[in-house]
A and B are shown apart, each in its own frame.
Chain A
Amino acid sequence: MGVIILLLIASIAVAAIFLLGFIWSVKDGQYEDEFSPPVRMLFDDKPGNDSPEK
């Protein structure tokens, strides 16, 4: 029976990780601009140009 309790705790812990991930993504502002990030990753730097400083 103890194993069920263990599984319970594990499942809630996994769910809690997702919750934290969600909170983190909101805090990071991921939902405030839904246009730029998907477009941004498609821009490629041409060879020869120096890449932007990060």
Chain B
Amino acid sequence: MTACYHCGEDCIDGYILHEEQPFCCEGCKTVYQLLSHNGLCDYYDLNANPGQSLRKPIRKDKFSYLEDDKIQQQLISFRNEEQTHINFYLPHIHCSSCLYLLENLHKLNRAVVRTTVNFSQKEVDIIFNHGKTNLREVAELLTNIGYEPYISLNQLKDKKPRLPRTMIYQLGVAGFCFVNIMLMSFPEYLGLESAEKHLQYAFRYLNLILALPVLLFSAQPFYESAWKSLQHRFLNIDAPIVLAIWVTFFRSIFEVLTDTGSGYFDSFAGIVFFMLIGRVLQDKTYQQLSFERDYTAYFPIAITVLKEDKELPTALPDIKAGDTLLIHNEELVPADGILTRGKAFIDYSFVTGESLPVLKEMGEIIYAGGKQTGGNMELLVVKEVSQSYLTRLWNQGDEKSTEEKGVSFVHLLSRYFTYIVFTIATISAIYWSIFDSSRIWPAVTAILIIACPCALLLSNSFTNGNILRILGRNKLYLRNAQAIEEMATIDHIVFDKTGTLTTTQQHDIAFEGEPLSKVDREAVSALASQSGHPLSKALVKQLGRNHLTVEGFRDHTGKGIEGMVNGVLYALGSHTYLTGQEGSSEGTRVYLAKGKSICGYFSFRNHYRDTVYELLRDLRTEHKISVISGDNPGERQALEKLAGRNTTILFNQKPHDKLAYIKHLQRRGKKVMMVGDGLNDAIAMRESNLGIALAEDTNSFTPASDGIMESMQLGKLHRFIKLSRANRMIVMASFVMSIVYNIIGLSFAVQGDLSPLVAAILMPASSLSIIALTFSATNLTARWLKL
């Protein structure tokens, strides 16, 4: 098979040779011509076959709505008399060639002033001269070279918030102050001559000044978190940490002002600095992914409305009940409506999980969320977008926010820790009040300083951060660190079937009936290749493409197709279509008729992903498993064989049923993980303790979830869970280690003579060794699990 020079896909139907390079289709060749004409062939030198296949034509008027002023206003980020700035999301950006081509866009369209690609966000900022070109032309140019901008309804709302940078600044300031305080504490540790008293003052007061930004600015995240927890009457780990920070600071100030010592400013700044590093590491988010997507990211931004025989592109929120919509092939139905013209053949797989498109006749109601496949249709809107079935479905689970899913065990641990510390502090206070009341104050403050649970926080945030990174390397992107802990406690896993356990790209096809001759097989394939129905496409793939001609082809959308091949009439379709009688409803079948007689049928089975068998076998040993599917029960037997006897298998589950099932499990005290792929699983995923969305690649649309996993990685799920369980072990182990440090420190502290030097050695030593331990432990575990 020859690979296309432009897109690298196999040229199934032969190839077009142009300047000695093979191309799979006219589209790819056109792009090549355009680029070579403009001297942009470096595109092909930087990476092999960097392009996007252009075999699927894109409708000519697709971007006509960009001419609408109101829509333009909401999309563009800046405009003056001459220039317009626009930001597009281009999901196809994937390599340096893309970067090269997009940043040279001005060579293809002179009116483009400058393009800047943000690679990690897959966004491009374009500045163009709106006197010479317009938004639509720019969008079409991008589409023509294979980078179709993805413009969805949620871009109509407020601009995306920039990444929060405050914590980075806080980290920078803390680092600056920490290092300088450290530097200026050295003279005192190394022994300043008492004759140089004024130098000592200078160092101490400079330290004090440098410590102020740490206290007032860098430590803010801890104050916020602690304050929030107190408002909820819940003691989290940050509360004792804030206490320790303050005690350290105020004791240090007291010492400096009363000239009794040099204070612990270096330890104070150091601990804030290390804890901030841990936070930043743990909060590292995946910029290109969005876990909060709602229906607005799925919907297009505008749709064609028919008004007095004119086609008007209209922004989605402006659609009213009573409008007539023109829905083109491959377009999404954005609102519930009644079909008034044309034939609807709607692919609901994303919304309901049914794997095959549904035929709707005129007068029938069509729910939002489906994708029209095959021809144009007209739709009379009965409910606005915000009232439609899909939107309501989406908003349903909203009462419970995902934030409140659980409490980290670290907080509970820190609470016990705090109680113990307070007890020790009280005992030593009582002890010293009897023997030497002048040492109460130094002893108690020293205990509080030493015993701050920062080691616990450090080990937790560094372990979490590293595990998130390891999972990310394996293409499982979790929303936050809390999700790791949720994953560790899971005891029941619910899988969706269509698109999750099975793949939509492949079918297992078997012919039942008299074996077909080679001639018949070729004829069937030729006939099927005329139709765009997913089953026809699968048949062609199975039987192999050929170039037989089909005469008198007729497509009865949703029912079947027929045509003459080699002078014989062949027909493919449902039992009802071929015989006029209702057939068996078991499984998905396509009947074949040759002439007048039925030869048999092709049975279609979803193809299970290769790793599913082993995955389910491994998971079964430790977890309960359920499979719920929106599909018909035609595959019960195959699934039972795959999933084992103890697995609950449910069919014909609507989104609400899935939600109810998850709730039912949770009521019985189960911790449920839901693995799904589509909107139909969205509310169930939100309700579950951990919802994982499966995506063919990270560009594709996924519903709101706690994690996004690339579907090729499904087989690793078992090991992912094991890694997340290791998380708790590692945190505990490093916590035990930190307690050893604490005991050493406390033995100094209870005596009331914690010298700043001891604190200064103990603090970084414990922090660094904890960081080293957590990193090596998580990496070793990951290697052992072969992740």
Contact = CB atoms under 8 A, between A and B. Distances in A.
B100 A16 contact: no
B120 A16 contact: no
Given A4-B199, A43-B42, A35 B169 contact: no
A52 B99 CA distance: 15
B118 A15 contact: no
B287 interface: yes
A23 B172 contact: yes
A34 B114 CA distance: 20
Contacts of B104: 52
A53 B172 CA distance: 35
Given A1-B199, A33-B121, A39-B99, A26 B165 contact: yes
A52 B116 CA distance: 12
A19 interface: yes
B541 to A, nearest CB: 36
B212 interface: no
A46 B168 contact: no
14 contacts: A1-B198, A15-B176, A23-B172, A26-B165, A26-B169, A32-B121, A32-B287, A33-B121, A36-B117, A39-B99, A40-B99, A40-B103, A46-B39, A54-B114
Given A8-B202, A15-B180, A33 B103 contact: no
Interface string B152-185: 0000000000010100110011001001100110
Nearest to A31: B168
B88 to A, nearest CB: 15
A30 to B, nearest CB: 11
Interface in A9-38: 11-12, 15-16, 18-19, 22-23, 26-27, 31-36
Nearest to A44: B42
A18 B172 CA distance: 10
Contacts of B119: 33, 35-36, 39
A53 B106 CA distance: 9
A42 to B, nearest CB: 8
Interface of A: 1, 4-5, 8, 11-12, 15-16, 18-19, 22-23, 26-27, 31-36, 39-40, 43, 46, 48-49, 52-54
A22 B176 CA distance: 10
B39 A49 contact: yes
B287 A52 contact: no
Contacts of B114: 52-54
A40 B118 CA distance: 11
Nearest to A36: B119
Contact of A1 (B121, B196, B287): B196
Contact of B168 (A1, A26, A40, A54): A26
A22 B39 contact: no
Interface string B66-81: 0000000000000000
B758 interface: no
Contacts of B103: 40, 43, 52
Contacts of B179: 15
B184 A33 contact: no
A49 B180 CA distance: 51
Contacts of A31: 168
A22 B119 CA distance: 22
Given A4-B199, A26-B169, A31-B168, A19 B176 contact: yes
Contact of A33 (B120, B165, B183, B196): B120
A19 B213 CA distance: 13
Given A1-B198, A8-B202, A33-B120, A26 B39 contact: no
A26 B113 CA distance: 26
Nearest to B169: A23
A48 B25 CA distance: 31
Given A16-B176, A33-B121, A36-B117, A27 B39 contact: no
Contact of A48 (B39, B117, B196): B39
Given A15-B179, A34-B120, A43-B103, A22 B196 contact: no
B118 A22 contact: no
B42 A32 contact: no
Given A11-B183, A22-B172, A32-B287, A27 B165 contact: yes
Given A1-B199, A36-B99, A49 B176 contact: no
A17 to B, nearest CB: 11
B96 interface: yes
B206 interface: yes
A40 B46 CA distance: 12
- A11, A35, A53: most-surrounded residue (chain B CB, <10 A): A35
Contacts of A32: 118, 120-121, 163, 287
A37 B471 CA distance: 26
B172 A52 contact: no
B609 interface: no
Given A26-B169, A31-B168, A40-B99, A53 B113 contact: yes
Given A26-B165, A48-B39, A19 B172 contact: yes
Contacts of B176: 15-16, 18-19
A39 to B, nearest CB: 5
Sorted from nearest, which 8 A-B pairs have the closest CB atoms?
A35-B119, A19-B176, A36-B119, A39-B96, A22-B172, A33-B118, A33-B120, A26-B168
A39 B118 CA distance: 12
Contacts of B180: 11-12, 15
A33 B176 CA distance: 24
B107 interface: yes
Interface string B94-129: 001001100110110000011001111100000000
Contacts of A53: 106, 113-114
A39 B103 CA distance: 12
Contacts of B96: 39
- B114, B120, B179, B196: most-surrounded residue (chain A CB, <10 A): B120
A11 B353 CA distance: 65
Given A32-B118, A48-B39, A8 B163 contact: no
